[in-house]
A and B are shown apart, each in its own frame.
Chain A
């Protein structure tokens, strides 16, 4: 079945890089996304990658995709306290449905 897994917690020091990992099982997934959820708020789209790409960089964010291992990662360079949030990866299943991961709670220590 479709499943997306993430580690639950990550703690980093301000200024360091954060790497949030995600594994997915649906090999037919073509689109993969990263969303950010701040406390009490909705899901904010951060970035996305198409399955024929290995890497995408967008300012401080770098997405790496390893299709062979079905592994997706999000690297945040120079992590700031404002980056503290829950980060969800999601895959597009079929035409309409997103399958979300469990979410990784990132805590940035000053």
Chain B
């Protein structure tokens, strides 16, 4: 069964540094998402992306965050100047058609981001 893959599985970065988290969504999917889960807390929506533009973003997704689909297969989340509170598990997801129950979001295994 096709799956969403994320790399790396664990990223350790110094505070203030830029980090790029990578995702390969399921190949025929059109909608892409990032969520994060701070340790012990809820999974929180960050952003959704369709047709090469952001379709919705949360208040967490401020100017230090950006997303990009640099080619036909990858979907990236960039954090420009990391802060300690950015430490979390970041999940990428994809779906075929946004908002349809028969096309739910499929999640990757996540990238654990640790900011020192």
| A92 and B45 contact, CB distance less than 8 A | no
CB neighbours of A102 from chain B (8 A)? 42
Give the CA-CA distance A97 to B47 in the complex, in Å. 8
* Closest CB in chain B relative to A25 CB, distance in Å: 14
CB neighbours of B96 from chain A (8 A)? none
A interface secondary structure, majority: strand
B interface secondary structure, majority: strand
| B109 and A42 contact, CB distance less than 8 A | yes
Using a CB-CB cutoff of 8 Å, which residues 21-63 of chain B contact chain A?
Answer: 31, 33, 35, 42-45, 48, 55-56, 58
Most chain A beta carbons < 10 A, residue from B55, B58, B101, B108: B101
Interface: B105 (CB within 8 A): yes
CB neighbours of B44 from chain A (8 A)? 100
Give the CA-CA distance A30 to B4 in the complex, in Å. 25
- B56 partner, pick from A48, A88, A94, beta carbons under 8 A: A94
Q: Which residue of B lies closest to A88 (CB)?
A: B43
Chain A residues within 8 Å of chain B by Cβ, number: 25
| B104 and A48 contact, CB distance less than 8 A | yes
Q: Report B97-108 CB contacts with A as 1/0, cut-off 8 Å.
A: 011010011111
CB neighbours of A95 from chain B (8 A)? 55-56, 98-99
Give the CA-CA distance A45 to B101 in the complex, in Å. 12
| A97 and B104 contact, CB distance less than 8 A | no
- A98 partner, pick from B105, B108, B110, beta carbons under 8 A: B105
| B104 and A33 contact, CB distance less than 8 A | yes
CB neighbours of A92 from chain B (8 A)? 99, 101
CB neighbours of B101 from chain A (8 A)? 30-31, 48, 50, 92
Interface: B75 (CB within 8 A): no
| B107 and A35 contact, CB distance less than 8 A | yes
Residues of A within 8 A of B (CB): 30-31, 33, 35, 40-45, 48, 50, 88, 90, 92, 94-103
- Some 10 contacts from A to B, beta carbons below 8 A apart, are A45-B107, A92-B99, A92-B101, A94-B56, A95-B99, A96-B55, A96-B98, A100-B42, A103-B42, A103-B43
- What 3 A-B pairs have minimum CB-CB distances, sorted nearest first? A96-B48, A42-B109, A43-B107
